[in-house]
Amino acid sequence: MSGDGYFYPDVGDKMTGETVERFGRTRWALEEAYVLNEFRKIIGSSDLTVDAGTGMGRLIPYLRSFSRKVIAIDRDPMRLSVAMKNFDFEDVFFAQGRIGDLSFIPPRIAGVVNCSHVFQHIPHYEVLHGLAEFQRVLKVGGFLILLTTHSPEGDKYYLVEQEGSVEVSKEEFEKAAENPVEGVLPVRKFSVEGIVKLLKDFGFELVKKYYYHIMPGQYPGEFLEVLEKLPGNSVTPHEFHKLVEEPIVKEFTEHFERINGDEESARKNSIDIAFLFRRRE
Ligand SMILES: C[S@@+](CC[C@H](N)C(=O)[O-])C[C@H]1O[C@@H](n2cnc3c(N)ncnc32)[C@H](O)[C@@H]1O
């Protein structure tokens, strides 16, 4: 499989892995699993779901849990080939390409588009093309799951390396996102109001949002210790409903909901945001 020369600069997810360790592996996975499980309750089911920027296919099992068919797309052929090997199912179809050009998918055919942690690493024009394509391929009333990093201080741009990160200008970010260098990950942190307004301009209404990946120190230490004894990496959203009945997980998610109940504080104390949007008429 050949691509267009693009590769995702955090090869093997090394730098992301370090952030995850800092937050605690189990808690990191649980928060996202909880949020995606809540979204699934609202979505119900989907005939066709598009995973836009699937990476190594991490969320394919979750998407399969409510979809009849999944089309998984990524621009980086290496990462896509890992996804293809790991998730070789009859109901999952793979394509190498850009979210900004989904011309092989007919209009108004998808029930759900999932775009997880892609927008934060790509040039702004590609965000715009991606949104136009999501709007085109989704049925009226179809859902867009959008996960990304955010900043309480408006749009911010960084170059993240193993040694640390530096804040850069929008122009430097755009250049780095266009010309990947191994080990230098361009990261954009979105203003929440800005992204909601942008989505509105593209014909989407907000259904639900959660601030997640809450900074270390915001949960009672005692239950974090117990949580870390849970199965860690294998806390996946498609099987979250089994875990939620565990008293410790219940306590954890109640605390997470409480944190989200105070928007200002949740925004200040989290790095990621999960949105569920619906395509309007
Ligand atoms: C942080 S990873 C997220 C992967 C996956 N969605 C997840 O949540 O685990 C970002 C992915 O977006 C892909 N990507 C970057 N630009 C893209 C584009 N324009 N179109 C499609 N995929 C893109 C990268 O190759 C990478 O696999």
Instruction: Spell out the domains of the chain, with CATH numbers in brackets.
Output: 11-279 (3.40.50.150)
Q: Residue 118: CB within 6 Å of ligand 1?
A: yes
Q: Residue 8: CB within 6 Å of ligand 1?
A: yes
Q: To test the ligand 1 pocket, which listed residue (31, 39, 62, 118) has its Cβ within 8 A of the most ligand atoms?
A: 118
In angstroms, what CA-CA distances link 66 with 1, 59, 235?
Answer: 29, 12, 18
- How much is the pLDDT for 245? 78
Q: Residue 55: CB within 6 Å of ligand 1?
A: yes
Cβ neighbours of residue 23 under 8 Å, at least 6 residues apart? Answer: 213, 215, 216
Question: What's 44-60 look like in SS3?
Answer: CCEEEEEEECCCCCCCH
Q: Residue 188: CB within 6 Å of ligand 1?
A: no
Question: What's 247-270 look like in SS3?
Answer: HHHHHHHHHHHHHHHCHHHHHHCE
Nearest CA to ligand 1 atom 20: 98
In angstroms, what CA-CA distances link 242 with 26, 36, 210, 250, 270?
Answer: 15, 14, 21, 11, 26
Ligand 1 midpoint to CA 216 (Å): 26
Ligand 1 midpoint to CA 71 (Å): 14
Q: Residue 32: CB within 6 Å of ligand 1?
A: no
pLDDT tens track of the chain, all 281 residues?
678 889 999 998 989 998 998 888 888 999 999 999 999 999 999 999 999 999 999 999 999 999 999 999 999 999 999 999 999 999 999 999 999 999 999 999 999 999 999 999 999 999 999 999 999 999 999 999 999 999 999 999 999 998 899 999 999 999 999 999 999 999 999 999 999 999 999 999 999 999 999 998 888 888 888 888 877 666 788 778 778 778 888 899 999 999 999 999 999 999 999 999 999 98
Q: To test the ligand 1 pocket, which listed residue (1, 7, 8, 56) has its Cβ within 8 A of the most ligand atoms?
A: 8
Nearest CA to ligand 1 atom 27: 55
* Distance (Å, whole) CA 192 – CA 126: 19
Global pTM reads 0.97
- How much is the pLDDT for 203? 97
Burial class (CB in 10 A: 0-12, 13-18, 19+), 61: middle
Q: Residue 58: CB within 6 Å of ligand 1?
A: yes
